[in-house]
Chains A and B, each alone.
Chain A
Amino acid sequence: MAGAAATGLSDADFTRFCEYFYKRTGIHFTSAKRYFVDKRIDTCIRNSPYDTFGSWFAALRTSDQGPMLQELINQLTVNETYFLREDYQFDAMLTTVLPNVLAARGGISRIAGPVKILSLPCSTGEEPYSIALRLLEEWDQIDHVDVEIHGADIDSDVLAKAAHASYGERSVQRVPKAWLNKYFVAVGAGRYQVDEGIRSAVTLHKVNICDTAAMRSFRDFDIVFCRNVLIYFDELSSRRAAENLYGAMRPGGYLFLGHSESMSRISPIFTPTRLPEGLVYQRPTGAK
C-alpha cells in the first residue's frame, strides 16, 4: 500500500485524519508532512489502549474534546524555540513600538491601565520570558509603567513546561551571562530555571487561536507576538486567526509575525507599518 506507515495508516485514512484535525484545530497537513504525522499518530496509538488506527480514531472522534484530542494536539504541534529568538523584533518593541504605544495612550503621566503584551503561541515559555528580560534590562520606562505579559498556546504539555520554566543550555545560549546569573537559578545537569519573580510576571493561558469564542477573552493588547504559527494554517484558518488577533488588540496595537510570514497574503484588516527594525502590522486606529 502506498504511503502505509507503521500505524497501518492508508492514504484514505491519512486524508480522513487530516480533515478531522483541521476541523478541530485549523491546522492543515499536506501529504508532504505524511511522515511527521504518521510518527506522531503512532506515538498516540502506542500510548492508548487501542492497537489499530481504526479503533483509536473511532475513540478519538467519540471523545472529541477530551484528553485524547489534547494529546494529539500536543504531539502534532511544533514547539522548538529558544530565548531571544529573532530578537530584532524585541529591539523594535523597545526602541519604536513601546514609545509609540505610550504616546498613543496619552503618555506616561496619563496612561490608564497596564501596557499589555501577548505571546501566542508561547510554546514552552522562552518568548514571554525573553520579553520580560528585555523589558527589565533595557527599557528605561519600566519603573514608570505597569506591563502585563501573557503567554498562550493550544498545547497543554508545553504550557506546563512554560509554567515550570526550566531550560537546557541550548535554549539559554543567547542569554547574556549576567542575565543568566541575575534571573535564572541553576537547577543541575546544565539546566536553568527562570526565577520566581519573572515567572510570576507571565500569565499563561490555554487557547486555540482559531477559536473565536475562546479568543474573545483576550482584549486590549498593545503588542502581540504571533510568530511562526500562521505558516501551519491554510488560507481560511489564517484568515480566522488574523480576525481573532485583531479582536484581541487595542486600536493602534502592534502585531509581530515571523520573518517568513506576511499578513498581506492573509487578510487586509491590518495596516503594515515599516519600522527601522522591520515590518510590523497595526490594528488601524480609526477602528474601535
Chain B
Amino acid sequence: MGLVRKQAPREPEEVLPEPPDTGTLLGQLDDPDPDCRREAALGLVEAAEAVPELLARVGTEKDPRVLESILTTLAARDTEEVAGGLAVHLASDEAVLRTAVAAALATMPRSVPALLPDLLAAPDHDVRVMTAMVLADLPHPEAHDWLVKMICEDPHPNVVTGAIDALLPSATAEDAQLLRDAVERFPDDPFLRFTVNTALPRLTGTA
C-alpha cells in the first residue's frame, strides 16, 4: 500500500489511442449507456457527415449530459446549417433544452448573425427572450447593437427586460437614456422598471 511506483523508466508517455471510426461512433449514439452516447457525440467533432444525425438527436436525447456533449460537438462547426438546426429549439417547451441550445448558439459567432433577422422577428416572444440570452454571451462586435435594437423596438416588455439584462454587463453611462426610454415605453411593467431602477445608479455613477 502507499504510492504506486512505476518499475519502467519514467519518460513521458504520449497518449495516442486509435479513435473509433465515424460509423462506429454513429452507432454508439443509440447505445443504452448514456456515457457511451456522450463519448460518441464528442468523438464526432471532425465528422461533417454526422451533423444531420446529431442535429436530429438534439430534440430527442433525454440525458442532459449527453445533450451537452452533442451541443459541444455541433457548436464547434459554427455553420448556418448547424445554427439553424439548433435555433428551432429556442421555442422548445423544455427549459433544459432551450437553455442548453442558447448556450451553444452563444459560442457560434460566425453563423448566428445570419439568423438574427428571423429570430428578432419571431412571433413567439419567448423565442425573442432566448435570443437575448444568446446575444448576452455571443462574442461578436455587434452583439451590443443588436441588444440595443431589441430594447428600442421590441413590442413585448419581457423581451425588452431580457435584452436589458443581457446588455447590463457591458452597459455604460451612454446606455442610461436607452433604459429610461424603455421604462417610458412600458410604464405599467413593474419588473422592467425594477430592473432599470436597480441598474441606473451603477451606470450613472450615483450608486
Contacts and interface: CB of A to CB of B under 8 A. Distances in A.
B6 A236 contact: no
B72 A239 contact: yes
A204 B13 contact: yes
A209 B7 CA distance: 26
B15 A268 contact: no
Contact of A235 (B11, B33, B65, B106): B106
A205 B3 CA distance: 18
Contact of A247 (B4, B12, B14, B39): B39
A160 interface: yes
B139 A206 contact: no
B4 A148 contact: yes
Contacts of B16: 214
Contact of B15 (A142, A205, A269): A205
A205 B4 contact: no
B59 interface: no
B12 A235 contact: no
Contacts, number: 118
A207 B15 contact: yes
Interface in B141-194: none
Nearest to B3: A201
A142 B4 CA distance: 11
What DSSP secondary structure best describes chain A's contact surface? mixed
Contacts of B4: 114, 146-148, 201
A107 B95 CA distance: 39
B1 interface: yes
Interface string A116-160: 000000000000000010011000001111111100100010011
A267 B43 CA distance: 18
B148 to A, nearest CB: 23
B42 A243 contact: yes
Interface string B89-115: 000000000001000001100000000
A212 interface: yes
A161 to B, nearest CB: 10
A160 B12 contact: yes
B19 to A, nearest CB: 4
B3 A216 contact: no
Interface string A183-222: 0000000000000011111111111000011111110000
A216 B38 CA distance: 12
A288 interface: yes
Contacts of A234: 107, 139
B64 interface: yes
A64 to B, nearest CB: 14
B123 interface: no
B45 interface: yes
Contacts of A163: 10-12
Contacts of A207: 14-15
A50 B137 CA distance: 41
A159 B35 contact: no
Contacts of B2: 136, 142-143, 146-147
B76 A205 contact: no
B15 A214 contact: yes
A247 B5 CA distance: 25
A287 interface: yes
A166 interface: no
A24 interface: no
B1 A240 contact: no
B43 A212 contact: yes
Contacts of A288: 33-35
B38 A247 contact: yes
A137 to B, nearest CB: 12
B6 A203 contact: yes
Contact of A267 (B13, B19, B68): B68
A244 interface: yes
Given A216-B19, A236-B72, A269-B68, 12 more contacts: A143-B1, A162-B12, A206-B15, A214-B15, A243-B42, A243-B72, A247-B38, A247-B39, A269-B64, A269-B65, A287-B35, A288-B35
22 contacts: A114-B4, A142-B1, A163-B11, A163-B12, A200-B5, A205-B14, A205-B15, A212-B39, A212-B43, A213-B17, A214-B15, A234-B139, A235-B107, A235-B137, A239-B107, A240-B42, A243-B69, A244-B42, A246-B65, A247-B42, A267-B72, A287-B35
Interface of A: 114, 132, 135-136, 142-149, 152, 156, 159-160, 162-163, 197-207, 212-218, 234-236, 239-240, 243-244, 246-247, 267-269, 284, 287-288
